[in-house]
Structure formats: structure tokens, C-alpha cells
Amino acid sequence: MKDILKNIWVKRGLAVFNLVYIAEVLLLTVATFLYDLEIRKGAQGAFFAVHFILSALFLVFMLYTKDIIITKITGLLLLPIVFFLVIFNMQNIVIFVPPLIVAIIMFFYITVPNNLKVLLGTIYIMLYVLGIFAYFIFNMLFGSSAIETVLDKNLSPDDPVYSMYDMNYVLQLTANDNTVSPDGTMEFYLCDVQNKEDGQVIIYVVPHGQDKSFKFFTLKQKGIKRKVKFFYGRGKVPEVYWSGSDTLTYKMEGESEETNSTVRLPEKNYLEFIGVY
């Protein structure tokens, strides 16, 4: 067994296999840039366990092959790759913590010249510090302090917003056969907004059928959203329905006439993660 572990070709083979982890981190980074990763209810523990175990396993493989050139390159490149994973998932640390731990450990343990490690280490520290600082600055400048809560079947009865609305009516209004446009390309949802004033209820329209579901999580399309109408105040929701493939009709309680809005979805906003809408 010791002879097998010391075999240079075994180490080289595992070093190549380690590229699977780099590919996984890259895919996760791109996916969370384009989509919101939402872990399924009740699957948070399983998701983190699988994510952590895979990261720990590949960390062992990388430490075992730290003298192989492929692993050396991997150890040097992992930190800047994980940086983007961190920036895209600042609100969901479960996603980036295991890869970040792997990246930090490998950077210190790979056998490369100290001068190179000091140079790259300095660059990476500046990248993380300035990048995270810029992330918070942009979100402070362009983001909103308002708290939005989607009004649908996923709203927990324990949420304070739940008791503010007639949820039986909300559930009837937000049933799938009502929210999806006749041609199946768009859907609307209702959102409660808590802000510094009296709050709002907003009708949003987003693409339909572009989410990708997996065992433990769902990738939900983001960056494509149209605010159709907002109503001041909280506690009441408008009557809303599709009267055409691209026409949304709505009327708030107390209003005498319905309003029709033709909906055109905007181009995808790739800067949503820094609060630019």
C-alpha cells in the first residue's frame, strides 16, 4: 500500500483528478453569478454536508499531491477563483466557506518559491480586502434598505408579515394557474415591502420556466424583473390576473376600474449582486 501511495503516477493521476474540484468551483461561481442559488427547505444540512465532505476529500488529495506541478498551479489559482464565489454569495456563506478553506490551506501548503508566494499572497490579500470593501460600498450606494417579502405559499406562518394579510386570498391569487401568462413565458408575484414609510405592495413580473431544479437546491433566474405596479400601504393585495399573453390586469380593493399593463421584460441585469437595479 505504501508503495502505491509513493508511486509518482498515482500522484500525477490524482493531481489531474483534482481539476474536477476546480471545475466544480468554477461552475458554482458562474451559476451563482447568473442565478440565485436557493437551498431547498429541509435540505440545508444535507447540502452543507455534501459540500463540506467533497471539499475535505479533495483537500486531502491536493495535500497528497502538493509537489505535483498541476496541484501547484491549482493551489495558486484557487484563491482568485473563490474570490468571485465569495462576492456573488455574500448573503449565503454556506456556499463559499468550504472552498475558501481549501483555497487558503492549499496556498500555504504547496511547494513553490517563497518570493512567488509572498508576491501572490500580497496581491490576493489586496484583492479580497478591496473587493469586499467595494462590494459593501456599491450596495450602500445603490442598494435599498427596504425588506421585501414574497407573498406566496412559501411564506411561513411564523413570519410577522403572514398575519398582516388574508393569506387564504393570497394563496388563491398566487396559484400557479393564475400567475403564469397564457403563453407560459412570464409570471407575476406579489411582494410586501417594509420601508421607512408606510410600506408597499408591489406586483413584479419575471420569466417563467427558466429556473433549474436539482436535488438539494434550485437555481432561480435573476436580473430579469419588471416592476409593474406598486401600491402604498401594507396588509391588502390587489386582484391580479393575465388578460393576455403580455397584458396584466389589476385592481386594488376600493378602486372602481381595472388597469391593464402591457409587460415587456428588460434585458438581464448582471450587476444585481452589487445592488445595481
130, three cell numbers: 478591496
| Residues 147-170 pLDDT 10s | 999 999 888 899 999 999 999 999
Instruction: Give the per-residue pLDDT at 5.
Output: 60
| Residues 18-77 pLDDT 10s | 999 999 999 999 999 999 998 888 888 889 999 999 999 999 999 999 888 999 999 999
User: Which range, of 64-68, 106-110, 175-179, averages the lowest pLDDT?
Assistant: 175-179
- Is residue 69 within 8 Å of residue 116, measured between CB atoms? no
Q: Residue 265: in which H helix or E strand, if any?
A: none
Report percent pLDDT > 90 for the chain. Answer: 66
| Residues 222-260 pLDDT 10s | 999 999 999 999 999 999 999 999 999 999 887 888 999
Residue 95 has pLDDT above 60, yes or no: yes
Average model confidence (pLDDT) across the chain = 90
Instruction: Give the per-residue pLDDT at 120.
Output: 94
How far, CA to CA in Å, does 95 sit from each of 26, 51, 56, 98?
A: 12, 8, 14, 7
Angle, vertex CA 188, rays to CA 187 and CA 194, nearest 5:
150
- Is residue 81 within 8 Å of residue 26, measured between CB atoms? yes
Residue 1 has pLDDT above 60, yes or no: no
* Average pLDDT estimate for 92-109: 94
pTM of the complete model: 0.86
